[in-house]
Structure 1
Amino acid sequence: MGKATVRDLSGLFEPDRVAVVGATERPGSVGRALFENLADFDGDVVPVNPSRDSVFGHACYASIGDVPRPATVDLAVVAVPAATVVDAVGQLGEAGVENVVVVTAGFREAGERGGRLERDLRETALTHDINLVGPNCVGIISTPAGLNATFLRGTPPAGSISLLSQSGAFIAAAIGWAARNDVGLKDVVSLGNEAVLDETDFIAEWAADPETDVVLAYLEDVDDGRRFIETARSVSAETPIVALKAGRTDAGGAAAASHTGAMAGSDEAYQAAFAQSGVVRAMDVESAFDFARALTGLPVPDHDDVAIVTNGGGPGVLATDAVGDSRLSLADFDASTREALADVLPTPIAAANPLDVRGDADVDRFREALDVVAAADEVGGVIVLCVPTGPLAFDDLGAVIGGVRSRVDKPVVTALMGGAEVAAAESVLGSHGVPNYFDPARAVESLAVLADYRDGAVREHAATTAFDVDTERAERIVIRALDRGVDHLGVEAMELLDAYGIPTPAGGLAESEEGAARIAASIEGPVVLKLASPDVVHKSDVGGVEVGVPTEDVRETYRAIVERARDHDPDATVLGVRVEATVTPAAGVETIVGAKRDPQFGHLVMFGLGGIFVQVFEDAAFRVAPVSERDAREMTREIQAAPMLRGARGREPADVDAVVETIRRVSQLVSDLPAITELDINPLVVSPEGVCALDFRARLDAAARPGDDCPNSDPPEYYSDSSSGSNMSSIAQSK
């Protein structure tokens, strides 16, 4: 983590003088491509190469120190062999050059030797306080300055989308796509290996840039996840961020020790981080540019009810299906809107939504229909669909749609589904910020993204509040386990939950048959016995759980459970058997609350449908810790089983407030105890009266051991043959 300094990167995009270190006329070389691409730069270009006297008519200097003063070099692009890059950057720093782009490859991506070179490069850049892009990148572009400091072919048209990418190949493809589709870009940055500057630095820079309306980011990884969330949350409130995250699969999930660990892959962490920071996520390249275009030129809708106006029934059906699959809904035209449409449309046309103005519609009919629909209060946005017909000229329709968009503060998107005749209309539409799509579904999706961004932009960050918990007691439990060489916790550590105020059934850990009988005698009614062994993860599979055991049978049952464990694994560590009050899951909904430590973002907290089928249905929601009350409440709404919590099919609603509090307490627990890498409370039974944690497991990391000043001289309570002072919920008490 550690790159928290806010840097001024304007010199990268607004230089007056650019030096190309390694400039040459040699055909096919990177140094030549860089120099040729800078031919249209508004300022001066200075070649630096000790092997040449001139490059394309420009006087060439042996080193940066030989460049005549007092004119300064604002930006240097380095294209020399990897072995000489560190020295070259050091000379640039000594000469006072503050902004450097290193396109040279052969660093961390090339192995151990390259990794050492990159560490030296980073140290050199930081010593001289250089804003360094790369190494191993394709360069940067700033269209307002005429700056193309890349070795790629072509320059994109000027616009207000600023693009960053961790893939140079994506930059190359994006430039060509933008030029072909007339999508304007402002700044373009290929991040390369991110030795100094990373994606968060540029997101912060473009937040202060009045010429950047949207940030589009291609990401494969984020180095400092918490810094990214904090920065993106602040930036996205004013400047939309669209992220295309590659590498969505997580092959390592199968090796996880908990349900949460198996389900909470890296992509879930990114999805949660994007949601919590207001970043709009795109799942493919086409969508990424669709979303960026919509967010660049259109206002966000006041509400999610939209209208479809079309001259073709088929496209209208496609758009209606797409609306049904999205967060949007079709607006219900009120009486005044229907009357106004009846006044301007031929009698056979029904004033319904979708509004089919028929295949014989000319531009005037479209204009009259759009004027009425776009002005209706019940319409938050408009989707215009059109196929080419004899009575209609697309360029005239483009002007009509653009005029409507200019008169109303609502988003308008189009799907003009034609061939060559669409181009003229797109040019007119583009001048009004209206994007056109061939596929009606893409038009609908882009309109839905505006609503997504609206919700994220108005979302105020809710501060998390800490509960009054017994952290020292919890630390003692973790330290004791680590001292014994244990990297798992199970039901023997239920007191860990108790220390954080998470309700558990009354009971305790018994180390003998007699201890089990004593605990059972303190509990009214039949009890539950559970094997306590860090080496047996799935207790039920080995006969390690017995439910509804009468008090008089506790000794025999204790003995049988231990014997089964020994038969299953003679070397397994058996700490005893937990004896606790019976809680009937049928009295509530079985859910799961868990957490997994993510290398980029820290702990990821999960809530979902629990019980034995948790990984069958995989119905879960995720957030990055710390989790606020609002985030926790949203998690309870996002799962498909949410209606079960709120009283589906005549059931009494569950205590959702208790679930929300438990999610927040788990978030605090794993934030306070980073040694916990995975955690499951499954099931957490939720009833109308409260919650109760019936089972628990966790994985520990000895490298994150709590501080030595934590008291650990006395054995933690969960090792004693006594009934615990468990924070028992009302559901447990009722049983």
Structure 2
Amino acid sequence: MGNRVLSDIFAPSRVAVVGATESEGSIGRAIVTNLRDDFDGETVPVNPNYDEVFGLKCYPDLASAPDVDLAVVVVPPNVTVDVVRDAGEAGVQNVVVITAGFGETGREGAEREKELQEVAAEYDLNLVGPNSLGVMSTPVDMNATFGPDNALPGSMSFMSQSGAFITAVLDWANDEGLGFKDVVSLGNKAVLDETDFVRAWGDDPDTDVILAYLEGIEDGEVFISAARDATDDTPIVMVKSGRTEAGAQAVSSHTGTLAGSDRAYEAGLRQAGVLRVENVQELFDFAQILAGQPLPERDEVAIVTNAGGPGVMTTDAVGDSNLSLASFSKETHDALSEAMPEEANIYNPIDAIGDADIDRFHRAIDLALADENVGAAVVLSAPTAVIDYPDLAEAIVELQAKHDKPVAATLMGGERTEKAKDALREGGIPNYFDPARAVRSLDALVSYRDISRREYEEPTTFDVDRERAREILSRAKDRGDNRLGVEAMELLDAYGIPTPDGVIVDAPEDAVAAAQNIDGEVVMKIVSPDILHKSDIGGVRVGVSNEDVYDAYEDLVTRARNYQPDATILGVQVQAMVDLDSGTETIIGMNRDPQFGPLLLFGLGGIFVEILEDTTFRVAPVSEREAREMIDEIEAAPLLRGARGRDPADVEGVVESIQRLSQLVTDFPAILELDVNPLVATPDGVRAIDIRLTVDTDEL
């Protein structure tokens, strides 16, 4: 789907309500009433059963109505498709389908939704819904929903897959004085989805922050691309519900077992530059500071307070974050020493103590923000008889503007904070009762700063042998199976991932001959697509001398037959030994996610990979920088870099192997899951010791 122009959804001059009525308790009545009461443009009721609705001329159909920019459809589901077709015939470009009874209701509804999509495609309609609460836009005072409240004006645009969530959020936000520009209830996302609105709001100069509540993303790859573009200038904050692994594919690889459905969202949203939050409070905590405050140049925070206990709480919160406490310059310390009483703490956090009046607070905040080592500040106060919160709020707003550094306020209390919060809000400064929330919000500001400044790096394209790889993958199809094991080691060779010398043989005599062509002792492994965990059944022999190869071959085959008599035995792999003592066992793998596609894994490998779970994920394809980040993120990274006197491993080889695997699984969508475990990294290089993968033979 290309970029759609959605401006007329949010700034229409004339809105038609198809299904308008005065019937008590009806959705058609609620939408007409909401529009009639506030909308700057013209409201056009459409219903063949009325001549007028609330004094407004009512038209029998869209064809007879004056030209409209937006049609809101609230008619029974069995006639909805016809009404949307009428909209297309009448030249209406934008349609919001409120009506439920589509894909969310079963087979009949799903068929009806498919018809709706076909009509929308035929007329190239921008269609929201079906099963939508509607849309809002405060610049034109449009509430084209059946919710009870309009939004307050603001610079946040908000989309939600849940209409009920929107009504609850707006009720709360109105009490808090939080405003929005546009609000969209996505409904079933038959046509327009989250990606379309990310694109539209990312290009909208009046949207400062994009907020989203999503239960799923339709096309993860397209969403990542759109969000990357949007977050250059506009932060995206999202609650993504549904963290369980229900719905994930049945898996047999380590990667698939560790991935789970939510891992793909974590990786994809991170690569897209989306700030994912856990709950609604964080959604709006982050949104307020992102909308109102400048991005900090430094990560160091100053704390100014009149209360020791909250100051300590704030310090702890900074320690739990990616921020750090600022170290003041000597000039700042000297100035604070002159301005503060002897009992005050002039080091960070600055404790102006309980009798601090507005002048002392003002001076402390001013000096803290002026210090070149300070990137941001938290100003917190407990209520006292000598401090007036509205005066303190005015001082905070003034000084934040003077120094142009982000400030989060924590004016603790109840009713006495109300006027102060209003003053702070007008200055773009959020107030948080809990100082930990203030610190987390500043942390989010720093995270978005880094997101907005990053440069997207195109993945490296390596010279590989795709035809050889295709032939190897086709072996599974040729034998009527969808799994490959060590017999597919050549697949890695085709994509330039180093492997030890080795060969697969189907007779003990051939095993002896193969071992004689390899220097030193060898490793021998049973080769069977039906036996996934070879080491569990004794299907691997390490350090086999030439004279023992014949017996080792027969022993491996016997063990496999005893373990699973009906297993397909392709033979035994005879492979050169790799010095595991001087190396680190890692794993690289992939599990293909239904929404985001190939989800790469990197981590500490070996037989304990699923127990230790020292892993990280990215959506392929990945760039060199992203591959390096994957290595840095695992706890075992110091082992690769030479911790405790070990020689550093070939990290560059690991980086390149991750990228080459990324290219492999991107080139071949038929690969559903894949493990290279272990990929051994030694000072002399990397070697892929073992592989197993599952393929969709219909894709080959």
TM-score range, shorter chain: over 0.9
Is 1:8 aligned to 2:19, yes or no?
Answer: no
- Unaligned runs of 5+ residues in structure 1 are 706-735
* Aligned equivalent of 1:503: 498
Is 1:556 aligned to 2:551, yes or no?
Answer: yes
Distance in 2 of aligned mates of 1:639 and 1:181: 41
Distance in 1 of aligned mates of 2:389 and 2:82: 59
Distance in 2 of aligned mates of 1:437 and 1:474: 57
SS in structure 2 of the partner of residue 658 of structure 1: helix
* Aligned equivalent of 1:708: none
Residue number among 22, 39, 42 corresponding to 1:44 in the alignment: 42
CA RMSD of aligned residues (A): 1.2
Residue number among 315, 320, 325 corresponding to 2:320 in the alignment: 325
Render the CA deviation track for 1:460-499: whole Å, top value 9, x for unaligned: 1101111111111111110112111121111121111111
Is 1:149 aligned to 2:144, yes or no?
Answer: yes
Distance apart, 1:254 and its partner CA: 8.8
* Aligned partners of 2:476 and 2:697 also within 8 Å: no
Distance in 1 of aligned mates of 2:18 and 2:429: 43
Distance apart, 1:689 and its partner CA: 2.1
Letter in 2 for 1:500: Y
Residue number among 366, 386, 397 corresponding to 2:392 in the alignment: 397
SS in structure 1 of the partner of residue 431 of structure 2: coil
SS in structure 2 of the partner of residue 64 of structure 1: coil
* Aligned equivalent of 1:232: 227
SS in structure 1 of the partner of residue 45 of structure 2: strand
Is 1:61 aligned to 2:59, yes or no?
Answer: yes
Render the CA deviation track for 1:432-469: whole Å, top value 9, x for unaligned: 11111111111000000011111111111101111111
* Aligned partners of 1:253 and 1:263 also within 8 Å: no
* Aligned partners of 2:160 and 2:213 also within 8 Å: yes
Distance in 1 of aligned mates of 2:509 and 2:668: 34
Letter in 2 for 1:487: N
SS in structure 2 of the partner of residue 264 of structure 1: helix
SS in structure 1 of the partner of residue 581 of structure 2: helix
SS in structure 1 of the partner of residue 448 of structure 2: helix
* Aligned equivalent of 2:266: 271
Residue number among 520, 537, 540 corresponding to 2:515 in the alignment: 520
Distance apart, 1:103 and its partner CA: 0.2
* Aligned equivalent of 1:722: none
* Aligned equivalent of 1:580: 575
Distance in 1 of aligned mates of 2:676 and 2:304: 51
SS in structure 2 of the partner of residue 668 of structure 1: helix
Residue number among 4, 10, 31 corresponding to 2:28 in the alignment: 31
Moved more, 483-492 or 626-635: 483-492
Letter in 2 for 1:46: V
Distance in 2 of aligned mates of 1:417 and 1:254: 48
Distance in 2 of aligned mates of 1:337 and 1:471: 64
* Aligned partners of 1:566 and 1:572 also within 8 Å: yes
- The aligned runs of 1:669-688 (5 Å cut-off) are 669-688=664-683
* Aligned equivalent of 2:408: 413
* Aligned partners of 2:246 and 2:261 also within 8 Å: no
Is 1:96 aligned to 2:91, yes or no?
Answer: yes
* Aligned partners of 2:247 and 2:261 also within 8 Å: no
Is 1:17 aligned to 2:20, yes or no?
Answer: no
Distance in 1 of aligned mates of 2:87 and 2:366: 60
Residue number among 641, 647, 654 corresponding to 1:652 in the alignment: 647
Distance in 2 of aligned mates of 1:338 and 1:486: 73
Is 1:539 aligned to 2:534, yes or no?
Answer: yes
Moved more, 265-274 or 587-596: 265-274
SS in structure 1 of the partner of residue 266 of structure 2: helix
Render the CA deviation track for 1:520-559: whole Å, top value 9, x for unaligned: 1111111111111000000011110011111100010000
* Aligned equivalent of 2:171: 176
Distance in 1 of aligned mates of 2:366 and 2:683: 51
Render the CA deviation track for 1:379-408: whole Å, top value 9, x for unaligned: 111011111111111111100111111111
Distance apart, 1:176 and its partner CA: 1.1
Moved more, 612-621 or 143-152: 612-621
* Aligned equivalent of 2:357: 362
SS in structure 2 of the partner of residue 653 of structure 1: coil
* Aligned partners of 1:415 and 1:438 also within 8 Å: yes
Render the CA deviation track for 1:552-578: whole Å, top value 9, x for unaligned: 000100000001100111110000111
Letter in 1 for 2:110: G
* Aligned partners of 2:212 and 2:239 also within 8 Å: yes
* Aligned equivalent of 2:562: 567
Render the CA deviation track for 1:398-430: whole Å, top value 9, x for unaligned: 001111111112110011111111111111111
Is 1:214 aligned to 2:209, yes or no?
Answer: yes
* Aligned equivalent of 1:478: 473
Distance in 2 of aligned mates of 1:482 and 1:352: 70
Letter in 2 for 1:660: V
| Percentage of matched positions with identical amino acids | 56
Distance apart, 1:503 and its partner CA: 1.2
Is 1:137 aligned to 2:135, yes or no?
Answer: no
* Aligned partners of 2:378 and 2:438 also within 8 Å: yes
Change (3 A) 1:612 1:253: farther
* Aligned equivalent of 2:601: 606
Distance in 1 of aligned mates of 2:359 and 2:583: 61
SS in structure 1 of the partner of residue 210 of structure 2: strand
Question: TM-score, normalized by length of structure 1?
Answer: 0.94
* Aligned partners of 1:102 and 1:133 also within 8 Å: yes
* Aligned equivalent of 2:451: 456
Is 1:120 aligned to 2:112, yes or no?
Answer: no
Distance apart, 1:348 and its partner CA: 2.4
Distance apart, 1:646 and its partner CA: 2.0
Letter in 2 for 1:26: S
Distance apart, 1:584 and its partner CA: 2.9
Change (3 A) 1:251 1:115: closer
* Aligned partners of 1:253 and 1:262 also within 8 Å: no
**Number of residue pairs matched?**
699
Distance in 2 of aligned mates of 1:356 and 1:488: 65
Distance apart, 1:261 and its partner CA: 0.4
* Aligned equivalent of 1:709: none
Is 1:465 aligned to 2:460, yes or no?
Answer: yes
* Aligned equivalent of 1:642: 637
Question: TM-score, normalized by length of structure 2?
Answer: 0.98
SS in structure 2 of the partner of residue 541 of structure 1: helix
Is 1:342 aligned to 2:330, yes or no?
Answer: no
Letter in 1 for 2:43: V
